[in-house]
Amino acid sequence: MSDPVENHDVVDVIRAKRDRGELSDSQIDWVVDAYTRGVVADEQMSSLAMAILLNGMTRPEIARWTTAMIDSGERMDFASLSRPTADKHSTGGVGDKITLPLAPLVAVFGVAVPQLSGRGLGHTGGTLDKLEAIPGWQANLTNDAMLAQLEDVGAVICAAGAGLAPADKKLYALRDVTGTVEAIPLIASSIMSKKIAEGTGSLVLDVKVGSGAFMKTREDATELARTMVDLGTDAGVNTVALITDMSVPLGLTAGNGLEVRESLEVLAGGGPQDVVELTVAIADEMTRAAGREVGPEELRAALADGRAMDVWRRMISAQGGDPDAPLPTAAATETISADTDGHLEHVDAFAVGLAAWRLGAGRARKEDPVQAAAGVELHVRPGEPVRRGDPLMTLHTDTPGRFARALKALDGAWRISDTPPTTRSVVLDRITSGG
């Protein structure tokens, strides 16, 4: 049997983008499909990805690339649900546990939240890793089970199925080892191909910026946000993005079980101010996008009076978890204390994330295990007063031999000054279609 005739030559496609040309719809459709089928080799796709990183893509190119990745797999359909759907995606950060209190909070108001989440890699945490600190909780659901839980409980946080945008899964792994992760067109299409294929009616994007984020500058974060909002809008998904601060960790914890504990504090009406602020801000966007006029005051009330906690307990139980089970605690801890009086001026998010990773909370490769109890617990937030000898942070791990490298990551990671620094909101900007 002769080999099938391909519509294009991959070298021609690579040369076109290398020479700053605009790829045709036919070229994009073919190269994404051919790479998924194994006709285009990894080294060829890595060359094309590098050309995209260096030379960019036009809006039509990015939209077509995203559609091609969606078409490589299945599309989900939530039309049978009795309530509207709204989802959220974060570009990742340190201490970013917002999904945990957010999904049940939004579900309180009759909006279904189909939150397909991932695992952590490197210094950024993964939502599934956090929830797996809860005894019995299961990340993998069938599509039917997901639909049933959305109808009954209103919220689900689970792993994306293998059939959702398989081209993206293959390309993401390649980008991770070829220095092309930073290509904004490929970041945007990677995120949005899965979210559009998921079938949500509306989407709120949390695009983080700062040392602990993937995007280090406001300019890059804004470009990524606008690109993703345009992709969602063009696909018929009501999409808005918030640019949020990730120069310091979110909340007081970075690490799986530690972040679940802090999320439970938020669901009980407490928790750190910045975590509550961002949870309410995104919930406000999601409910409005889904046609529910709720408002921040009522959202805060649902945290304070236990309504969101009730949905959380049902959501965890529905996926086999025990909401009353004690969370894991680390076998060893080590505390860092302040060496002078003053106000904590700054704590570097990347350094805290790196320390949590080295303590066992993160992974270097996708197949690596994580420690449920490992991480960093902050005792003081930037802006707060501190006296010499006061605890600044506690390191948690099951393997004390990890402390030395974690402490090295935190060397110079904080500043104490004589006067309190100016504070700013965690939400820095809002990006909508055409504005």
What tokens were used for 390? Answer: 């006061």
Give the chain's count of helices (H) and strands (E). 16, 13
180-192: average pLDDT:
91
Q: How far is 124 from 356, CA to CA, in rounded Å? A: 9
Give me the catalytic one of 17, 89, 170, 195.
Answer: 89
Report the pLDDT value the prediction gives residue 2, as an integer from 0 to 100.
47
Torsional class of 165: left (φ above 0), alpha (ψ -120 to 50), beta (otherwise): left
122-150: average pLDDT:
91
Strands in 214-318 per DSSP E: 238-245, 253-254
Number of residues written out for the chain: 435
The closest of 234, 196, 239, 168 to 75, measured between CA atoms, is 196
94-118: average pLDDT:
95
Note if 418 is an active site residue. Answer: no
What does the DSSP 8-state code read for residue 22? Answer: P
The H or E element spanning position 346 is strand 342-347
Report the pLDDT value the prediction gives residue 279, as an integer from 0 to 100.
98
What does the DSSP 8-state code read for residue 360? Answer: I
Note if 430 is an active site residue. Answer: no
What tokens were used for 372? Answer: 């449920």
The closest of 192, 176, 292 to 237, measured between CA atoms, is 192
Give me the catalytic one of 33, 129, 168, 274.
Answer: 168
Give me the catalytic one of 88, 97, 175, 208.
Answer: 175
Structure-token match 């100016």, residue found? 422
Q: Are 102 and 283 in contact (CB under 8 A)?
A: yes
- List the strands of the sheet with 86-90, edge to edge: 86-90, 202-209, 238-245, 427-431
Note if 87 is an active site residue. Answer: no
Range scoring the smallest mean pLDDT among 2-16, 52-66, 331-345, 378-392: 2-16
Note if 381 is an active site residue. Answer: no
Give me the catalytic one of 194, 288, 292, 307.
Answer: 194
Q: Are 65 and 28 in contact (CB under 8 A)?
A: yes
Give me the catalytic one of 190, 193, 202, 263.
Answer: 190
Q: How far is 86 from 215, CA to CA, in rounded Å? A: 24
Note if 47 is an active site residue. Answer: no
Range scoring the smallest mean pLDDT among 2-11, 44-53, 214-223, 411-420: 2-11
Report the pLDDT value the prediction gives residue 63, as an integer from 0 to 100.
94
Q: Is the pLDDT of residue 112 over 70?
A: yes
- List the strands of the sheet with 385-386, edge to edge: 385-386, 342-347, 414-417
Report the pLDDT value the prediction gives residue 72, as an integer from 0 to 100.
93
In the chain, the domains with their CATH numbers are 86-160+184-325 (3.40.1030.10), 332-417 (3.90.1170.30)
Provide the pLDDT confidence category of residue 3 given band limits of 50, 70 and 90: low
The closest of 350, 84, 323 to 214, measured between CA atoms, is 350
Strands in 22-102 per DSSP E: 86-90
Question: What is the sign of the dihedral through the CA atoms of 173, 174, 178 and 180?
Answer: negative
Per the prediction, the chain carries an average pLDDT of 93
139 contact partners, CB below 8 Å, separation of at least 6: 128, 131, 132, 158, 159, 319
The closest of 213, 207, 240 to 87, measured between CA atoms, is 240
